[in-house]
Amino acid sequence: MTSLAAFCLIGGMLSVYTLLDGYDLGAAAISPFLTKTRAERSAVVESIGPFWSGNEVWLVAAGAALFALFPQAYAVSFSGFYLPFIVVLWLLMFRGIAIELREHLPGVIWMDFWDAAFSVSSALLILLFGVALGNLVRGLQLDANGYFLGTFSSLLNPYAAAVGVLAVVALAQHGLAYVAERVDGPLGERALRHVGRLWWLVFVAYLAVTAATVAERRSDLASSPLSIVASLAALGALGAVWWFAGRRRAAPAFLASASFLAGLLVAAAATMYPYLIRPYPGAAGGLTIFQASPPTATLALTLLISSVGLAAVIVYSAFVRRRMALKVTVHDDRSV
């Protein structure tokens, strides 16, 4: 029971991370296709500037929670995917300093460089996160201790690549909806129109990945009805994105997009359960939540402490967001 709660806590933290930092990453990735001037790019950065660091902490805290709650899984997965993990770290660093340092100099070349770094590193991060999730759902070739046996190129299988593409378009849509909600004027309106256009790509990618998941996992999908329900709920939320974007209502479109992502993540987690690291069908090994966790007493205490802390985080984050809610406007280009 505590193992299940720990699994849900980490899954929940990673989901919150996806919903929050997802719009930072998505807005950054789509920014070159959305904005027309440097001032508009500044407005996109300003819309996420006060929040991205707090959003990213959800990833750091989830990593630490995995460390505390499932040390074996933490050790095996992080060292098993050594190079991809280090590349993710480098990209996260680039993304972070791009946001923070871009505003420190008024120079044109300076800003353009960091804008490019910001967009490219964010797009690659989404792709890598998507590919990682795809491989976790599909399963991995593992040895008896749970260490990864496959090659780098085996991680880039068609299924994982399809999940990567879905992640890119879905988070780009999420980022557009966020910009539409946060930025006043023509840029916000254009972002909302782009949601309507990108929606079709998201829809096709969703159908393709759903079909591929059924094909990959047909033998055991029936045993996790939650994944089917969550997947259908995600489809409903995706429909709501289309509906609200068409009616020019940014805030509900953003919430619908968040629900869509949440539905996908719940479906993914439900297909993985009870595995933290699932073996590829037919292969041995794998780590379940029961093998990978410390004794119940420790686990329960850790869960209690982190739940109380996270509840406080949610309260004061919401408070700060409300106080900082002033909409962003595009400043004219006179300074650059």
Partner 1 sequence: MDVVLADRLQFAFTIMFHYLFPIGTMGIAPFIAWYNFRALTTGDRLCFQAARFWTKIFAVNFAIGVVTGIPMEFQFGTNWAAFSAKTGSVIGQPLMMEGVYAFFLESVFLGVLLYGRERVSPALYTASAIVVWLGAWLSGFFIVVVDAWMQHPVGYSIGPGGRIQLRDLAALVFSPFAAWQFAHVVTGAIVAGGFILAGVGAYYLLAKRDVEFGREFVRTGVLAALVSSALVIFPTGDRNSDNVTAYQPIKLAAMEGLFKSRHGAPLAIIGMPDVAGRTLIDPVFAPDLLSFLAYGNFRANVAGLTSYATALWPPVELTYYAYHVMVGLGTIFIAVAAGAAFLLWRRRLFATPLALWALLLIMPFPYIASEAGWVVAEVGRQPWIVYGLMKTQTAASPNVVTGETIFTLIGFVGMYFLLGVLFLFLTLREIGIGPADEPAPGGVPAAGLGAEA
Q: Which of 233, 240, 294, 300 binds partner 1 (CB under 8 A)?
A: 294
| Stretch of 16-24, 179-187, 191-199, 300-308 contacting partner 1, by CB under 8 A | 300-308
Name the nearest CA neighbour of 80 among 129, 19, 148: 148
Q: Distance between CA 16 and CA 32 in Å, rounded?
A: 26
Q: What does the buried/exposed string (b/e) look like for 54-85 if buried means 16 or more CB atoms within 10 Å of the residue's CB?
A: ebbbbbebbbebbebbbebbbbbbeebbeeee
56 contributes a contact to partner 1 by CB under 8 A? yes
1 near partner 1, rule: CB under 8 A: no
Q: How far is the CB of 295 from partner 1 (least distance, A)?
A: 6
Site mask, partner 1, residues 121-160, x = CB under 8 A?
Answer: --------------------------xx------------
- Taking CB under 8 A as the binding criterion, the range among 159-167, 180-188, 217-225, 313-321 that sits at the site for partner 1 is 313-321
Look-up of token digits 């805290």 = 61
Q: Is the peptide bond before 50 cis (omega within 30 degrees of 0)?
A: no
Q: How many Å apart are CA 4 and CA 239, to the nearest integer?
A: 31
Q: Per rule CB under 8 A, is residue 82 in the interface with partner 1?
A: yes
> Considering the rule CB under 8 A, would residue 302 count as an interface residue with partner 1?
yes
The answer to whether 263 and 233 are in contact (CB under 8 A) is yes
Instruction: Specify the residue, 14 or 245, whose C-beta has the smaller distance to partner 1.
Output: 14
> How far apart (Å, rounded) are the C-alpha atoms in residues 113 and 283?
46
User: Per this entry, what is the length of the chain?
Assistant: 336
Interatomic CA distance for residues 11 and 8, integer angstroms: 5
Interaction of residue 334 with partner 1, rule CB under 8 A: no
- Using the CB atoms, write b or e for 167-202: b if 16+ within 10 Å: bbbbbbbbbbbbbbbbbeeebbebbbebbbebbebb
The only residue of 33, 67, 152, 290 in contact with partner 1, by rule CB under 8 A:
67
- Among 22, 80, 130, 263, the residue binding partner 1 under the rule CB under 8 A is 80
Q: What residues line the site for partner 1 (CB under 8 A)? A: 42, 46, 49-51, 53-54, 56-57, 60-61, 63-72, 74-80, 82-83, 85-86, 89-90, 92-93, 96-97, 100-101, 103-106, 147-148, 294-295, 298, 301-302, 305-306, 309-310, 313, 316-317, 320, 323-324, 326, 329, 331, 335
